[in-house]
Amino acid sequence: MFNLLLLITLFLVALIFFQSKFLLLIDTPYGQSHKSLHNKNTPLSGGIYLFVTIIAYINFKEFNAYSITLSIFLLSILILGIFSDTKINFSPKLRLLYQFIIVLLFISLLDLKIDKTGVFFLEYFINNFLFNLLFTTICIIIVINGSNFCDGVNCNVIGFYLAVTLGIYISQLSTPENLPEAGVLISIFIIFYFANLLQKSFLGDNGTYVISAFMSVYVINFINMNNSISPLLALNLLWYPAFENLFTIVRRLFYKKKIQIADRSHLHILILEKISLNKNLVFFNSITGVILNLVILFGILLSINFSNDSKILMSILIINIFIYIFCYYLLLPKKDILDVDNK
């Protein structure tokens, strides 16, 4: 099985380089002001690579109704992401509607639900089928769109999910039997991590959609099957894209900006602009992602170490959010702060 996965991976790595000259999914250096600049056309191969490697492993491991349904789910998400990458004026509201329909439909078919939350006022409703269906759908959509917000510097998103998978692997807890083992996912993610680090390929919307949707399914199943751990661990594993989503929406409302209009006022962009000073953007782009990966990895490993203690997990989560907000306003240009004070 591992040899087959290795062959598929090598083929797709070759495809990444081939695509940069001959295919359509290309990210150009200019014309998108909300993204960090880079110096050459780069293929948006992340979604194709992740989809094929993950689905190939799942179906060769155990070909059944579940694997087929999950494959179609990720394919639908991949297609939506590709459409988002290639259609310049794709309405954010329409995109969100498509996400909601796809996620709602397939979590119903997969019988995926959040069994426990660890939040007392939600526990009263979690056993209600309709509430659980909508709650699970919304949670996954939050992670998908939050991951898309985070995808502005090299390695930030792929590195984040690599950190999550490393945490699960180190925990030595049970992982879903019908999904790839954590060690296999680490191998898949590491290969693309280095391609992204060297700017040979980007995730694009198609890649962030696939990896965030899949890892949402993975983490939900992981938490559900380990009764000895606190369900708050799910929040500590996926807090970064979830909070990035919430913070971005609140920030844009506060600054009286349109929520659906992309901008460069994200933490990872502020860090990049602070350390690069417009010099060697490609190098510092990757360094920014690596720095964020290491900081988040520390928090994830700390959370894994206290996976059965809800109070400590909540404390870690609060500290993570505090550090994020503190760093954000520390790095925010003074002119932006003055603009807020004058409103």
* 293-303 pLDDT per residue, tens: 999 999 999 99
Q: Which residue has the tokens 């394919």?
A: 75
Output the six-digit token pair for 30.
């200019």
> Does the pLDDT value for residue 45 go beyond 90?
no
Q: If you average pLDDT over residues 144-153, what whole number do you get? A: 90
Judged on CB neighbours under 10 Å (0-12, 13-18, 19+), 295 is middle
| Alpha-helix runs per DSSP H in 226-266 | 232-254
Share of the chain above pLDDT 70, in %: 83
Rounded to the nearest 10 degrees, what angle do helices 182-197 and 281-305 cross at? 160
Which are the contacts of 300, defined by CB distance < 8 A and separation ≥ 6?
163, 164, 166, 167, 236, 237
| Per-residue pLDDT band at 11 (split at 50, 70, 90) | low
Q: For residue 19, what pLDDT is reported?
A: 53
CA dihedral for 160, 163, 165, 168, sign (positive or negative):
negative
Regarding predicted confidence, which is higher, 318 or 35?
318
> Does the pLDDT value for residue 34 go beyond 50?
no
> Residue 26 pairs with which residues in a beta bridge?
43
Q: If you average pLDDT over residues 184-209, what whole number do you get? A: 88
Q: Are 47 and 53 in contact (CB under 8 A)?
A: no
If you average pLDDT over each of 99-103, 203-207, 267-271, 278-282, which comes out highest? 99-103
DSSP-derived 3-state class of residue 22 = helix
Q: Give the number of other Cβ atoms within 10 Å of residue 161's Cβ.
A: 24
> Does the pLDDT value for residue 62 go beyond 50?
yes
Which are the contacts of 162, defined by CB distance < 8 A and separation ≥ 6?
186, 189, 190, 193, 293
H/E run at residue 43: strand 42-43
Share of the chain above pLDDT 90, in %: 46
Distances (CA, A) of 216 to 15, 143, 272, 313: 27, 7, 27, 19
Q: Compute the C-alpha angle 156/144/323, nearest 5°.
A: 50
| Per-residue pLDDT band at 339 (split at 50, 70, 90) | low
> Does the pLDDT value for residue 74 go beyond 90?
yes
| Per-residue pLDDT band at 201 (split at 50, 70, 90) | confident
Q: Which residue has the tokens 């860090």?
A: 271
> Does the pLDDT value for residue 28 go beyond 70?
no
H/E run at residue 148: helix 129-150
H/E run at residue 27: strand 26-27
Q: For residue 123, what pLDDT is reported?
A: 74
Q: For residue 341, what pLDDT is reported?
A: 44
> Does the pLDDT value for residue 35 go beyond 70?
no
Min mean pLDDT across 50-59, 222-231, 271-280, 293-302 is at 271-280
| Per-residue pLDDT band at 12 (split at 50, 70, 90) | low
pLDDT digits (tens, 9 = 90+) for 250-295: 888 887 777 767 777 788 888 888 887 756 667 788 899 999 999 9
Q: For residue 340, what pLDDT is reported?
A: 47
CA atoms of 266 and 139, how far apart (whole Å): 21
Q: For residue 9, what pLDDT is reported?
A: 60
If you average pLDDT over each of 42-56, 73-87, 112-126, 212-226, which comes out highest? 212-226
Q: For residue 255, what pLDDT is reported?
A: 74
| Per-residue pLDDT band at 199 (split at 50, 70, 90) | confident
CA atoms of 338 and 343, how far apart (whole Å): 9
